[in-house]
Structure 1
Amino acid sequence: LKGEFVGLPGRELGALRKQNVVLEDITWVPSVAYTGDTCIEFFDQHDRCADFLRAAVLVTEVPISGDLALTVCAKCTFLGDTSAESKADETGHLHLNQLARRMHRFVNSSLVLTHFSARYSFQYIQDTLTRQLLPPPHDANDEAVRRIFMAYGDRWAALTRPPSPPAPPAVASDKPTQS
């Protein structure tokens, strides 16, 4: 209910509604947003990207090149070495490192990453994305993890965090026990 209508009796609200007065603030949230070729600066300009960052599903392209190259669906072309970050900017693409540094801004429930270079294997891309985009289980932002998917050719995968290493075995004490 809009602030100016708070506290009005139901009868008055009903009369206003019959006059087609909009009584509630309406916020539209996109279900799916697709960025296409996008420089990282797009995600730094809140007034331009707010709807993209809160869409339920964001698809973005993350091309992969250099030593490593790889959504909200994000086009993620470049992965790995930081020298390729400037190349990503020059060519209108994202670098995975740029995206990883901004993951805290994304409130999407699902992120789909696409547009990977054919020079990298499906498994290599999946491993690289998992390592860089999924925090370790003990990370303070653990609850912020969303579903992240990758699409590569005719294949796709949901990224999952590797299992935590097992706890070390308990060390037996060499002190005698008293009964």
Structure 2
Amino acid sequence: MAGPHDRRPASAGPAMAGVGHWRAGRGFTEWLAMSVVVLLTQAGVVAGSVLATLPVGEQLRQGVAEVSRSGNRMTILQRSASAKFDWTAFSVGAGHHVEIQQPSPEAFIVHRVVGNSVPSRIDGTLNANGRVYLLNPNGILIGRTARIDAAGLVAAAMTTDEMTSPAPPVNLARDQYGRVTNEGVIRIRQGGVLTLA
């Protein structure tokens, strides 16, 4: 049984399965070509996820909000006092911008990453005039070129229950071994709270 610190690349199982299944009678060249295709395909999927320039795969779970995209910018317009989104991936590439427009500094929004094993990476700009939770159990890296400005921020390598209300307090649970690293600039407005967990 793997220990608590054992971590394996997400692609190790499928990649080895693709390479190892060689039926008798196939030529070595055909087998090698098939193996290379499998490995490159999986590498492309992983790289595409890691290098995502804007968040993708949003699903509004609670509240009233909408998402729009234009070039290297994303705008999340929150119309209710609280809201909750699930995302396939939530990363912001260098030179890209996410603007969260909220009804007040007390407004509250939860962004929860589900359905993949890729950490979030923030290298661009994330602005919000209210309070923001960014939850990814696989980890969050705030890079050196990142600029975050919000009334409050919780960035946590944790998740929350499907039915948890987006209004504070939010009950968080850790079910992975991700971590949160900050190398960028985070500005929290007066009276706000910053939590990295």
The TM-score with structure 2 as length reference comes to 0.36
Judging by fraction of residues, say which structure has more strand: 2
Greater helix share, structure number = 1
Structure with greater Cα Rg: 1
Q: What's the TM-score, normalizing by structure 1?
A: 0.39
